Homo-oligomer: A and B are copies of this chain.
Amino acid sequence: MSANRTAPQAAAGPGAVAGQVVVGVDFGTLSGRAVVVSVADGTELGTAVHEYTHGSVEHRLPATGAELPPDWALQIPQDWRDVLADAVPRALADAGVAPEQVIGIGTDFTACTVLPATADGTPLCELERFRARPHAYPKLWKHHSAQPQADRINALAEKRGEGWLGRYGGRISSEWQYAKALQLLEEDPEVYAATERWIEAADWIVWELTGAESRNPCTAGYKGIRQDGRYPGRDYLTGLNEAFGDFTEKIDFPLSPLGTRAGGLSARAAAATGLPEGIAVAVGNVDAHVTSAAARALEPGQMLAIMGTSTCHVLNSDVLAEVPGMCGAVKDGVVTGLWGYEAGQSGVGDIFAWAVRTALPESYAAEARERGISAHELLTEKAAAQPVGAHGLVALDWHSGNRSVLVDHHLSGLLLGLTLDTRPEEIYRALLESTAFGTRTIVEAFEAGGVPVTDFVVAGGLPRNRFLMQIYADVLRRPIDVIGSAQGPALGSAIHAAVAAGAYTDIRAASAAMGKVDKAVYTPDPDRADVYDALYREYRELHDHFGRGGSDAMHRLREVRAEARARRHSARQQDDAEVSR
């Protein structure tokens, strides 16, 4: 925290009044974070984190204990409310500012995290009759079991020549609104029928704050399929499923531009958070996209990579190009007036965590404990002691599927080059490298598609790993800029709140005053880059072989796995039924 927490700010922004603050709240995968920020210059005055009680619900439904099928991931709305009630007042206390100093609140959310709700915004899972129904719960972004629906969405769009498909790189992801909704319809039609609103958590949380529904253009464009002012037509929807024809009615509501005021803080939300009633609530937004403002990466060509559990790439451009395999191109999707591009890697930090869970021997765990460092730090240190390529390994970073450029969540991870000498830190390093290769694949796709990438800026938790960042610099052969804040999304939300409250005229102005970035913190080493080039060639060969039809082994193995697990699942349900009899 800054030392001069409560002191009036020296250099206030154009519309900022000394002492004014905004609150940004970032809803992540496992927790939510509130930050209190000076409107004048973006100084972060206080913060608090609230861990979700239920985290990411992947194995059993908390309400009943029933086992979930493979590749599911749900969340519990009350966990989100708890962030507002717990983290916001604590952040205020941490900042030592009075509630009256707060002129606005902004939020950002993981996406596509989407839920079925009634017309008054009540999540269906909170209705007594639906509490035991998994499909009534919010589906977290990494809910990955709607791939069959995504496949049909893409096949039909291609067949019908739907113009919007190219805007999404030719592939709609199973993570997004349409695939998840179609899965809901087909697996639990009763819950689908009761769904009056199919709404992003990003918008639902704003509804919680203002008491009135509002929708944002970012999730509508990137996670819905809204292009050129409209959603896909009824004919297309009924082609997917006769009963899907009414889907647009559940999502098509007026959009408000990013950074504008969605409404005033409701009395109920004011009571819960301790903030003044009526202050500006910014339109909903997405964690990655708001971070562009925090990292001052809003100009055309500046690619921001938000690196954590997964990585999201956000890039603005003054040109519209349809880049194969990118997540989406949305006008005004990041900042009003530019085409916002999004791409992503489904698994990054998640994969490193998997390596620690899976390939960290007892002696390594003991060494890390003894030295008071984390397992990640130990593995990084051991890995960094080796020259590039000495492990002889190459990995595919698809443990959680591939979001860009293949848009296929039924791909899986691969490790090649294993020998009896292969050590855990070598596997760890190969996994670090594989995510850098995944990023390079995305950067090259943008450039080949006509969207120049001039700068590479990183944010999120992973940039703390300096060795990882150097790998990225070497693999990309580019300098790496680093955001100057450890809480980029929350700062970005706060910046949006400042604009919504009228302290700045627009996001670019607010970003220039309140955002923070350190330029060229890492620069590439040509010798290491040469060896990485050789490894990257192997990565690309495997990428294309297993991802583009050379071998369909990953899909077939996933089917074998699904069948085996379905047999076990039904055997267990039989056991449960017998026990309860």
Chain A residues proximal to chain B, CB less than 8 Å:
70, 347, 350-351, 354, 357-362, 365-366, 386-394, 399-400, 412-424, 427, 531, 534-535, 538, 541-542, 545-546, 551, 553-554, 556-558, 560-561, 563-565, 567-568
Q: Which residues of B contact A427 (CB under 8 A)?
A: 358
**Residue in chain B with minimal CB distance to A393:** B557
Query: Would B420 and A414 count as touching, CB distance under 8 A?
Result: no
Query: Would B551 and A354 count as touching, CB distance under 8 A?
Result: no
Q: Which residues of B contact A531 (CB under 8 A)?
A: 560, 564
**Residue in chain B with minimal CB distance to A388:** B564
Query: Would B413 and A553 count as touching, CB distance under 8 A?
Result: no
Q: Which residues of B contact A391 (CB under 8 A)?
A: 561
A356 to chain B, nearest CB (A): 9
**Residue in chain B with minimal CB distance to A391:** B561
Query: Would A541 and B553 count as touching, CB distance under 8 A?
Result: yes
**Residue in chain B with minimal CB distance to A423:** B358
Query: Would A399 and B414 count as touching, CB distance under 8 A?
Result: no
Given contacts A350-B420, A362-B366, 4 further A-B contacts (CB under 8 A): A389-B561, A390-B568, A414-B415, A538-B556
Query: Would B553 and A542 count as touching, CB distance under 8 A?
Result: yes
A253 to chain B, nearest CB (A): 35
**Residue in chain B with minimal CB distance to A567:** B387
A70 to B563, CA, bound (A): 43
**Residue in chain B with minimal CB distance to A558:** B392
Query: Would B557 and A394 count as touching, CB distance under 8 A?
Result: yes
Query: Would B419 and A412 count as touching, CB distance under 8 A?
Result: yes
Query: Would B561 and A390 count as touching, CB distance under 8 A?
Result: yes
Q: Which residues of B contact A567 (CB under 8 A)?
A: 387
A400 to B419, CA, bound (A): 6
A387 to B542, CA, bound (A): 29
Contacts A389-B564, A564-B531 given; does A420 touch B360 at CB 8 Å: no
A535 interface neighbour in B362, B416, B560, B565, Cβ under 8 Å: B560
**Residue in chain B with minimal CB distance to A142:** B420
Q: Which residues of B contact A358 (CB under 8 A)?
A: 359, 361, 422-424, 427
A354 interface neighbour in B420, B535, B565, Cβ under 8 Å: B420
A545 to B554, CA, bound (A): 14
A401 to chain B, nearest CB (A): 9
A347 interface neighbour in B357, B416, B420, B542, Cβ under 8 Å: B420
